[in-house]
Structure 1
Amino acid sequence: MIGLAVAARAYARARWRMARLRDRAAIERHQSARLARLGWYLARDIPFYRGIDPARVGSWPIVDKATMLANFAAMNRAGVALDTVRAALARGEDRVEGHAIGHSTGTSGNRGYFLVSDAERYVWLGTLLAKALPDALWRRHRVALALPGFSRLYGAAGGGSRVRLGLFDLTEGVDAWAARFAAFAPDTIVAPPKVLRHLAERGLVARGTTAFAAAEVLDPVDVPAIRAATGLPVRQIYMATEGLFGVSCAHGTLHLAEDVVAFEWEALAASALVQPVVTDFTRRAQAMARYRMNDLLRLDPSPCPCGSALQAVAAVEGRRDDLFLIGATTVTPDVLRNALLDADPRIDDFRIVQTGPTAVAAAIPPGCDAAAVRAGLRVALTRLGADAAVTVSHGIPATDATKLRRVRRDWDHNQISAS
């Protein structure tokens, strides 16, 4: 009951902030106050940050996954060692020294490991519900969560009397829980786009269901099937084991959670995409301050019809690990995705993979125009000054990866310097 009270309080505070933060000036004042409070906490209670100037956020170190793993014990309040967390997870445990623990899916080759307090889990739950289900105080909801990794970390927070959560483990496969999912009859679903699409195509998504895509890039090819089933815009929840970063409004616009996270932006050369550096105000058990994410975002400067002043995101385009590196040219995932989809409107699934220093392989469904796809990709690459051999095959290869990455770089550019 104490946890639900924390969630209810976080819900109320989030709703109050959403009503109060109506312009950029208000958002910046709010963030400035929260950052000042966080700075003093970090300097006093987190060993890694002792010696920082709490008032000069720009002087705090920017950290990434490698830094966090190398300094894990010094970056959490309890001093829990990384080996302790790994060993507990290997034994099937999800708690260490009174903290919930978890890890990322490790799709980039190495896992991130995280711990949160129970209070933080309920704050996360309340904040998410306020943004995704603002009517939860007066309307009951049945929310199905079909998510990897962090669903175990946060799902145990449970729901309240008006929100019932159903957890569906992706590692078991959809067939293992399809009947239970149908019996649960959710009015809201949070799942990766490929799972939402699969459920929709199997007739398991009812008309009027609110569908939130999470954990993967929402590709345009997945949207029509999901929207046809629900009759509503496909919304997104932008979150990871690092935290909650954004939620779409009812219009389908993804708004960043700038009331609980401060975002800094690192520009990508010769691209409109940016890479976020995040500072989470709600995290205390483990610091999440000036953490460089691996994601690539396209921001949207247009005002949203919902009236929110929170920064809108046109798309989460992919990951920095999946930038194609061809000679001296860097090619972003959105360029390749758009070139392929523009080549043939019949394409409803695809893969584009950099397989070598100047080799790109694409896979498309049978019957689609391979010649047009090859030409389209060649034109897009040439326009950027990248010279690569492009091959196109029919048939989408099966994958057992936890996260679907339709555009990815399998070639390790470090092999050149190592050879």
Structure 2
Amino acid sequence: MTTREAVETHRARGLRRLGRHLHRHIPYYRHVDPARPDSWPVIDKAELLANFAAMNRAGIPLDAVRDALAAGESRIAGHAIGHSTGTSGNRGYFVVSDAERYVWLGTLLAKALPDALWRRHRVALALPGFSRLYGAAGGGSRVMLGLFDLGEGLDRWAGRFATFAPDTIVAPPKVLRELALRGLIARGTTAFSAAEVLDPVDVPVIEAATGRPLRQIYMATEGLLGVSCAHGTLHLAEDVVAFEWEAAGGGLVQPIVTDMTRRAQAMVRYRMNDLLRLDPRACACGSALQAVAAVEGRCDDLFVLPGAAGSVTVTPDVLRNAVIDADRRIDDFRIVQTGAAAIAVAIPPGADAAAVEAGLTRALARIGARAAITVTHGIPPTDATKLRRVRRDWRGDQSSMSAV
């Protein structure tokens, strides 16, 4: 789609079709006006889990999904099931039909590999949960999929990965970085960062290995949300998802998403926890789909610090940029709010701790915030699920919190 008018027309048509389906087949939405998407309730994870059976067409209860997954099963009542990594404290669960798996995979491949109609590809998927769920749909005659389970650990499948020799990789940035450092990514490979926030420190390491610009795939339990074009711009998947926005401060927005393609389980006006910085500029690729300057983090990781006039909310990009800019030798870090006015920072050995402390202090002062900053050398081991370099552990209701 090359004009915003076309995007909006497509969105209106998709929401009308979805409204009719919700009204007829999804009990939770039986009493809503199918022609008034703006009147449909805005929900969050707690609401979805509390009404799980009423939000899927087959009436599958949440406990049945949990029990099946705990028993190692991936299907129930003719549907594929799965869950999120649960890094925000509680897992999200989902139900999808086989047809929806093909739609998801087809949409992803069409956006990421538009030349797949005339060129064969070997695509490695190394993603938490998604590999098993959607990889089972297969890749077609021109796309061979290799599935690599992050839960097993990279060491378990590194040899198989090398033998598979992918020309395209979709993986979290921490995995792409590790593969690059081990020399397992061939030059000329197209790499897509997915499933985690892409921090600037990871980009040069990965691009040095591939010799190509690093691209992104923005997806979550809620669905496929965006894919970078060949120019490197992350475009939202507005052809399949309707987006609404809530201001989150600091120029960031929080998305409310409606997947217009899902029929087995409703994902309608779902308030996500993500923080995005939208890009108002037109992309050279010609697409009118909304561009995203950065996926900055999660609302859970907004720091709340004291200031002269009360509490000040600090966005992850402010903290991240202050640390990276303090010393160019910093190629990894952790920033954690550990108390009401306390921040713990971990940086690599040899990096300038004093410069980091001074840089963070200045950055906070510019927005009227203050905190006691502790800087230590040595990066703690990476979590087995999602890497969060900026993390708020302090919640205001605990006497002591974990540090880095």
TM-score range, shorter chain: over 0.9
Q: Show the 5 A alignment for 1:399-410.
A: 399-410=382-393
Q: CA shift at 1:150, angstroms?
A: 2.2
Aligned to 1:293: 272
1:341 and 2:324 are equivalent in the alignment: yes
Tell me whether 1:385 sits opposite 2:368 in the alignment: yes
Tell me the residue number matched to 1:53: 33
Question: How many Å apart are 1:234 and its aligned residue?
Answer: 0.2
Alignment of 1:20-99 (within 5 A): 21-99=1-79
- Counterpart amino acid of residue 144 in structure 2: R
Q: Secondary structure at the match of 1:366?
A: coil
Give the aligned partner of residue 354 of structure 1: 337
In the alignment, which residue of structure 1 is the partner of 2:90?
110
1:221 paired residue number: 201
Q: C-alpha separation between the residues in 1 aligned to 2:142 and 2:318?
A: 43
Give the superposed CA RMSD. 1.0
The residue matched to 1:44 in structure 2 has which SS? helix
Task: Tell me whether 1:277 sits opposite 2:270 in the alignment.
Answer: no
CA contact (8 A) 2:151 2:384 kept: no
Q: TM-score, normalised by structure 2?
A: 0.96
1:206 has 2:186 as partner: yes
Say whether the 8 Å CA contact 1:300–1:312 is kept in structure 2: yes
Equivalent in 119, 132, 135 of residue 152 of structure 1: 132
Give the one of 194, 219, 244 matched to 1:239.
Answer: 219
Work out whether 1:366 is the aligned partner of 2:349: yes
Task: Tell me which residue corresponds to 2:115.
Answer: 135
Structure 2: gaps (5+ residues): 400-404
Q: Is contact 2:345-2:376 (8 Å) kept? A: yes
Map Cα deviations across residues 78-136 of structure 1 (whole Å, 9 max, x no partner): 00000000000000000010000000000000000001000000011111110000011
Secondary structure, aligned partner of 1:189? strand
The equivalent residue for 2:172 is 192
Query: In structure 1, what is the Cα distance between the partners aligned to 2:186 and 2:130?
Result: 26
Secondary structure in 1 matching 2:288: coil
CA distance in 1, matches of 2:187, 2:115: 19
Q: CA deviation at 1:346?
A: 1.1
TM-aligned CA deviation for residue 44 of structure 1: 1.4
Mapped to 1, the partners of 2:32 and 2:383 lie a distance apart of: 44
| SS of alignment partner, residue 274 of structure 1 | strand
Q: For residues 258-299 of structure 1, what are the alpha-carbon distances to aligned partners after superposition, in whole Å with 9 as ceiling and x for unaligned? A: 000010000013x11000000111100000110111100001
Distance 1:383 1:126 in 2: 46
Q: Which residue of 2 aligns with 1:394?
A: 377
- Whole-Å separation in 1 of the counterparts to 2:397 and 2:196: 26
Residue 413 of structure 1 deviates from its aligned partner by 2.4
* Larger helix percent: 1
Count of paired positions: 395
What SS is found at the alignment partner of 1:397?
Answer: coil
Question: 400-409 vs 179-188, which deviates more?
Answer: 400-409
1:309 equivalent in alignment to 2:291: no
> Which residue identity is paired with 1:258?
E
1:318 Cα shift? 0.3
Q: Percent identity?
A: 78
